[in-house]
Amino acid sequence: MVEIGNTVVSFDLFEQQFCCDLGICRGECCIEGDAGAPLELDEVAQLEEALPAVWNDLSEASKAVIDAQGVAYVDADGDMVTSIVNGRECVFTYTDAADGICKCALEKAYREGRTSFYKPISCHLYPVRLEHYKRFTAVNYHRWDVCACAERNGKQLKLPVYKFLKVPLIRKFGEAWYNELEQAAAAYEAEFKR
């Protein structure tokens, strides 16, 4: 692990390779699971603010869940997460009519200029998961069988996790932090990949 500011970053971000392959997984990560996407506290308000921009893209089932309990709930582990439909699917998903792939209505609205909120940082950072401790934040690689095709694709492209996630890592931690991460990755490569 390497320390950067108040974070501790797993070497897995340098060692593992990853690149989403939506044509194969069909957006499974937004559908599978036993809870919604982890949220930071300020993101609940951002989701509520973005809701009118995405409302017409949501399924009737998602709208009913949001009407009943809101955009988020506290899961069994005590974490704030996005609300889910049928015990597993994020309420902010929609199926793209053009390709049949499950996608994020929040990201669609952002790309179309209808909202300034991209999507929850936990979604944008995946397959990285953050664990917050009193003195630091752990930045870890999360393996999930749903993403096996992304691991294969990343290996084929020789794309390390930290490079695949450059934009969301900068969004979360800033450009200077990412520059330090790149330097740490280069030092790691020089030391361990001789």
Average pLDDT, the chain: 88
* Per-residue pLDDT band at 2 (split at 50, 70, 90): confident
**Lookup: tokens for 123:** 């979604």
Check residues 55 and 151 and name the one with the higher pLDDT: 55
| Residue 65 host element (H or E) | helix 60-69
Of 25-29, 117-121, 172-176, the range with the lowest mean pLDDT is 25-29
Residues 6+ apart with CB under 8 A from 94: 57, 58, 59, 102, 103, 104, 105, 108
pLDDT at 191: 80
pLDDT at 32: 73
Domain boundaries, the chain: 1-18+127-194, 26-118
| Other C-beta atoms lying within 10 Å of the C-beta of residue 119 | 25
The alpha carbon of 123 is separated from its chain's Cα centroid by a whole number of angstroms, namely 2
Mean local confidence (pLDDT), 122-126: 89
Q: How many residues does the chain have?
A: 194
Task: Inform me whether the pLDDT recorded for 177 exceeds 60.
Answer: yes
pLDDT at 193: 65
pLDDT at 175: 96
Taking CA atoms, 67 is separated from 1, 48, 51, 116, in Å, by 43, 12, 11, 23
Buried b (16+ CB within 10 A) or exposed e, 11-29: ebbbbbbbbbbbeebbbbb
Task: Inform me whether the pLDDT recorded for 115 exceeds 60.
Answer: yes
Strands (E), the chain: 2-4, 7-9, 72-74, 80-82, 84-85, 89-90, 93-95, 102-104, 128-132, 137-141
Distance CA 194, CA 180 (A): 21
Check residues 23 and 75 and name the one with the higher pLDDT: 75
Residue 52 and residue 66 in contact, taking contact as beta carbons nearer than 8 Å: no
Give the pTM.
Answer: 0.85
pLDDT at 62: 93
Distance CA 52, CA 70 (A): 13
SS3 134: coil
